[in-house]
Amino acid sequence: MILLDTNIFIIDRFFPGDSHYAINKEFIQELSRLEAGFSIFSLLELTGIASFNLSAKELQQWLFDFASVYPIRILDPYDLKIDSAKEWYTKFLQELMAKVTHQMTFGDAIFLREAEGYQVEYIISWNKKHFLSRTTIKVLNPEEFLTIWKPQ
């Protein structure tokens, strides 16, 4: 599975003039052929960002039915099914703190925690530098991924 960063959807929906828009769109068009995941935390972040540009109806669709907008799998918080909410939350915060102490933003730490928990093969992001020296997961931008991906 690949894990998608928020910036892919921001460029697709809101920045048609971005220098990465064409290749980003090409990548988006391949999502239905990929095993692509998007963290529920990233979806919450994206919905907040999109709230400045989308109608209330569109925001509802994005938050509650994003997979009908883009053919991806929304991932629940990793390891949510452990014994208690308190236990999960304590572990969650400890794991985030371990990442933040390596000079990461809170949002990037959450994203990386989910990527590592789900043991994804690739992180796909236009902000590779946020993750490259902080994980053993391969980090590619959409253009790089398309050059190595072999459709099945």
Beta-sheet strand order (sheet of 2-4): 73-75, 36-39, 2-4, 122-124, 138-140
Residue 29 lies in a domain: yes
CA distance 52 to 151: 36
* Backbone CA torsion sign across 63, 13, 76, 131: negative
CA distance 12 to 38: 15
pLDDT value, residue 140: 97
pLDDT value, residue 69: 94
Residue 95 lies in a domain: no
CATH number at residue 41: 3.40.50.1010
Domain that holds residue 17: 2-77+120-148
Residue 82 lies in a domain: no
Residue 125 lies in a domain: yes
pLDDT value, residue 105: 79
pLDDT value, residue 81: 74
Residue 104 lies in a domain: no
* Number of structural domains the chain divides into: 1
Residue 33 lies in a domain: yes
pLDDT value, residue 152: 61
Can you give the pLDDT of all 152 residues of the chain as single tens digits? 999 999 999 999 999 999 999 999 999 999 999 999 999 999 989 999 999 999 999 999 999 999 999 999 999 888 777 667 777 777 777 887 877 777 777 888 889 989 999 999 999 999 998 888 888 999 999 999 999 987 76
pLDDT value, residue 126: 97
Residue 90 lies in a domain: no
pLDDT value, residue 132: 83
- 131 in Cβ contact with 124 (< 8 Å): no
Strand partners, 37: 3, 73
